[in-house]
Chain A
Amino acid sequence: MTATAQQTGATVMTNVEAVRSTLHDALVRDDRVLIMGEDVGARGNVFLITKGFLEEFGPERIIDTPLAEASIVGVAIGMAMEGLRPIAEIQFADFIYPAFNQIVGEAAKTRYRSNGDYTCPMVIRTPYGGGVRGALSHSVSIEALFYHVPGLTILAPSTPADIKGLLNAAIECPDPVLFLEHKKTYRSVKGEVPAGYYTIPIGKADVKKAGTHVTVVSYGYNLHQALDAANRLEGEGISIEVIDLRSIRPMDKTTILASVRKTRKLLIIHEDNKFGGIGAEISAMVAEEALFDLDAPIRRLCGPDVPAMGYALTLEEEFMTSTEQMVDAMRDLAKF
């Protein structure tokens, strides 16, 4: 981990606990930090991330907003323009569409359109992703809708230690950050989190498993499946390198190219739709920079091009890429 950590002991926690404790520490550390959104106060957020915050920090800092996503983001933009550090929550990523204008048309362009006169240092946190029986409107991945937008930073860490370091970096960031939390990893992923304040550089990927035969680039819940798949293939003598993107905009060219030039094979895995997804940009970059270093065509394993996963288990499972599919794809590419 590339952290400026004060390594004074670590704690094991889940992803959701890492979000909670990092937010808590930020509120203690900096009185410019506010949390605002639907049901973040008395209810303590629908995943209980902010439970107890209202009692500890008061209604001026833990703000239950009216049920209106555009103004959750828009009011936070105004606060940021005026020097506060708001953390706006969109209850589910699927509900972010009413705020699209505020994120794309306003927050991402505040610094640019005023030529630096006004800035917009804010974080928009939102749980995304499927595999939790969330159906069409509680399961989507939204990153591809936003990663086309200059001025916006998009982070999608997948482990508790990365969540802490990148959420701290997001709060420090002088520009707007969209912070994506895969909800299936909230309680299913646990890990050690270093004590003390640290940040992880925005735009830096992390090699979660070193290998020599195939490079896999992933993030979110898929990352953990990819690590499982890679570990299974160890028994077959296939060595997979797994890169956790962590940051979607900006992305880490150095780590991806170094790995691809070593393994000469690239598999990109993400839950979001394949067409126009993050994998398309990675593929284009690798083709532009390292085509003649490749020994096989680039492969992508992604969500299918349907509007969303269904509520029925059969429909959800058909949408989500299984670990077995990942094992097969990695093996095929290794043998190419």
Chain B
Amino acid sequence: MAKTTTAQGQVLDRAGLSGEQLVAMLRNMLLQRQLDNRGFQLNRQGKIPFALGSEGHEAVQAGAAMAFARGRDVLVPYYRDLGLALGVGMTPFEILSSLFARDTDRNGGRQFPNHYTNKDLGVASISSIIAGHCTHAVGIAAAFKYRRESGRAVISPTGEGATSQGEWHESVNYAAVHELPIVFLVENNEWAISTPQSMQMRVANVADKAAGYGIPGVVCDGFSPIATYRAMNEALERARAGRGPSIVEAKCYRYLSHSTDDDDRTYRSRDDIEAHRKLDPVPRFEAALIDAGVLDAAGAKALRQDVLRETNEATDAAEAQAYPTPQSLYTNVVAGDYRPWQEFDS
């Protein structure tokens, strides 16, 4: 495994990733942070009705996305998976089209932001009902197995709160019984809106629940993209090789309120947030790459400027698009014309 000695003499365990891949992960993380900020800014400016942030999840998602095999794997994301969506190939313009609810949004401006769909990239459409989509992820994995498409796997991410849902349990259990190629990624940010992990479960780790399903469960450092990549890569390789599902729990944190409509001052101390700010994965990973000589300070600055430029261009381009036509409300209910009362030539 390639290792790089940092300026401070620490060893950066690269988990076999090239310099280019490491920089790509950092770029994804910087872009997530920038797009998150943009969503909240646009909301405060009154330009968009709603935004959700992924701040604190950047490392988890950059790492998990790096383990995703484009063109083969499928991602069934949850609503806080901006970085996974970007990491598997979605563009800032698509994200901003969704934020602005313009007709260039692949959902046609129907869904809340962060409810992605892009079948060409293997990003499955979800609803807002927590963990309901995990069963779909299992069904997709079942289709891979049924068609003997080895080398393909599904990533089914959720937060830790979702693991209280019956459908999460049913999904993991079904996948375990049928040995399906799927990885249940739990992005444990400690909070489900206002409810802390201790009010969701008795166990310290979601991964501990894996024992109840007879499958592996691992905990990784969700503030480290490399650690998350390593855990996800191992779990996905296992799944693609036909050795069944597993749970990967990435411990991270939610720095922002649940959404632009939430106010976390009503349930969470500022000290709690400040303590976790010291672990902020974005500046830490940037510093680690500079220390390890993968990137120099100028290169990091150029990367940040490039991400801001891309975000600005995508913002302007998306805002300039038209809204969906009112008539589009009536399309794609079912195939063909939608009429609950049928009329026939008689």
Q: Which residues of A contact B (CB under 8 A)?
A: 34, 60-61, 63, 65-66, 68, 70-71, 73-84, 86, 98, 101-102, 105-106, 109-119, 150-151, 153, 174-175, 203-204, 247, 249-255, 258, 285
Contact of B135 among A63, A102, A150, A253 (CB under 8 A): A102
For residue B170, CB closer than 8 A to chain A, the reply is: yes
The answer to whether B143 touches A113, judged by C-beta atoms less than 8 angstroms apart, is no
The answer to whether B339 touches A250, judged by C-beta atoms less than 8 angstroms apart, is yes
For residue B200, CB closer than 8 A to chain A, the reply is: no
Contact of B142 among A78, A102, A174 (CB under 8 A): A78
Bound Cα distance A149, B173 (Å): 29
Q: Which residues of B contact A78 (CB under 8 A)?
A: 76, 135-143
Q: Which residues of A contact B74 (CB under 8 A)?
A: 82
The answer to whether A102 touches B107, judged by C-beta atoms less than 8 angstroms apart, is no
Contact of A111 among B141, B142, B174, B333 (CB under 8 A): B333
Q: Which residues of A contact B171 (CB under 8 A)?
A: 71, 74-75
The answer to whether B140 touches A79, judged by C-beta atoms less than 8 angstroms apart, is yes
Nearest residue, chain B, Cβ from A83: B143
Enumerate 14 A-B pairs (CB-CB under 8 Å) in ascending A order: A66-B174, A77-B135, A78-B136, A81-B125, A82-B144, A113-B117, A114-B119, A116-B331, A117-B119, A174-B334, A250-B340, A253-B341, A254-B342, A254-B343
Q: Given A66-B173, A117-B117, A250-B340, answer yes or no on A258-B346 (Cβ-Cβ < 8 Å).
A: yes
Contact of A106 among B115, B132, B338, B342 (CB under 8 A): B132
Q: Which residues of B contact A105 (CB under 8 A)?
A: 127, 129, 132
Contact of A253 among B117, B173, B174, B342 (CB under 8 A): B342
The answer to whether B119 touches A153, judged by C-beta atoms less than 8 angstroms apart, is no
The answer to whether A76 touches B333, judged by C-beta atoms less than 8 angstroms apart, is no
Nearest residue, chain A, Cβ from B144: A82
Bound Cα distance A89, B136 (Å): 17
Q: What is the minimal beta-carbon distance from B339 to any residue of chain A, in angstroms?
A: 6
Contact of A71 among B107, B174, B332, B335 (CB under 8 A): B174
Q: Which residues of A contact B342 (CB under 8 A)?
A: 203-204, 247, 250-254
Interface size range on B against A: 35 or more
Q: What is the minimal beta-carbon distance from B342 to any residue of chain A, in angstroms?
A: 4
Q: Which residues of B contact A203 (CB under 8 A)?
A: 342
Bound Cα distance A101, B42 (Å): 33
The answer to whether B174 touches A113, judged by C-beta atoms less than 8 angstroms apart, is no
**Contact pattern, B 102-121, Cβ under 8 Å of A = 1, otherwise 0:** 00001110110001011100
The answer to whether B127 touches A109, judged by C-beta atoms less than 8 angstroms apart, is yes
For residue B167, CB closer than 8 A to chain A, the reply is: yes
Most buried by B among A78, A116, A251: A78
Q: Which residues of A contact B267 (CB under 8 A)?
A: none
Q: What is the minimal beta-carbon distance from A315 to any residue of chain B, in angstroms?
A: 32
Q: Which residues of B contact A80 (CB under 8 A)?
A: 139
For residue B177, CB closer than 8 A to chain A, the reply is: yes
Q: Given A70-B135, A101-B129, A106-B132, answer yes or no on A82-B117 (Cβ-Cβ < 8 Å).
A: no
The answer to whether B146 touches A77, judged by C-beta atoms less than 8 angstroms apart, is no
The answer to whether B117 touches A75, judged by C-beta atoms less than 8 angstroms apart, is no
Q: Given A70-B135, A74-B135, A112-B110, answer yes or no on A254-B346 (Cβ-Cβ < 8 Å).
A: yes
Q: Which residues of B contact A258 (CB under 8 A)?
A: 346
Q: Which residues of A contact B338 (CB under 8 A)?
A: 150
Contact of B344 among A74, A175, A204 (CB under 8 A): A204
Bound Cα distance A98, B135 (Å): 13
For residue B46, CB closer than 8 A to chain A, the reply is: no
Most buried by B among A65, A98, A105, A110: A110
Q: Given A105-B127, A251-B340, answer yes or no on A70-B170 (Cβ-Cβ < 8 Å).
A: yes
Q: What is the minimal beta-carbon distance from A182 to any residue of chain B, in angstroms?
A: 22
The answer to whether A174 touches B139, judged by C-beta atoms less than 8 angstroms apart, is no
Bound Cα distance A321, B216 (Å): 55
Q: Which residues of A contact B173 (CB under 8 A)?
A: 66, 68, 71
The answer to whether B136 touches A115, judged by C-beta atoms less than 8 angstroms apart, is no
For residue B60, CB closer than 8 A to chain A, the reply is: no
The 4 closest A-B pairs by CB, nearest first: A78-B139, A74-B135, A203-B342, A115-B108
Nearest residue, chain A, Cβ from B148: A60
In the complex, chain B residues 165-188 whose Cβ is within 8 Å of any chain A Cβ: 166-167, 170-171, 173-174, 177-178
Q: Given A83-B143, A254-B346, A258-B346, answer yes or no on A114-B341 (Cβ-Cβ < 8 Å).
A: no
The answer to whether B106 touches A114, judged by C-beta atoms less than 8 angstroms apart, is yes
Nearest residue, chain A, Cβ from B139: A78
Q: Which residues of A contact B247 (CB under 8 A)?
A: none
Bound Cα distance A79, B174 (Å): 13
For residue B124, CB closer than 8 A to chain A, the reply is: yes
Q: Which residues of B contact A110 (CB under 8 A)?
A: 125
The answer to whether A254 touches B344, judged by C-beta atoms less than 8 angstroms apart, is yes
Q: Given A113-B111, A250-B340, output 12 extra A-B contacts at Cβ < 8 Å.
A: A74-B167, A78-B143, A79-B146, A81-B136, A105-B127, A115-B108, A150-B333, A250-B341, A252-B344, A253-B341, A254-B346, A255-B344
Most buried by B among A71, A116, A175, A251: A71
Nearest residue, chain B, Cβ from A74: B135
Contact of A251 among B166, B178, B334, B341 (CB under 8 A): B341
Q: Which residues of B contact A111 (CB under 8 A)?
A: 332-335
Contact of B170 among A68, A106, A117, A174 (CB under 8 A): A68
The answer to whether A174 touches B335, judged by C-beta atoms less than 8 angstroms apart, is yes
The answer to whether B174 touches A68, judged by C-beta atoms less than 8 angstroms apart, is yes
Contact of A81 among B139, B167, B331, B346 (CB under 8 A): B139
The answer to whether B125 touches A74, judged by C-beta atoms less than 8 angstroms apart, is no
The answer to whether A74 touches B139, judged by C-beta atoms less than 8 angstroms apart, is yes
In the complex, chain B residues 319-346 whose Cβ is within 8 Å of any chain A Cβ: 331-335, 338-346
The answer to whether B117 touches A81, judged by C-beta atoms less than 8 angstroms apart, is no
Q: Which residues of A contact B344 (CB under 8 A)?
A: 204, 252, 254-255
Q: What is the minimal beta-carbon distance from A176 to any residue of chain B, in angstroms?
A: 9
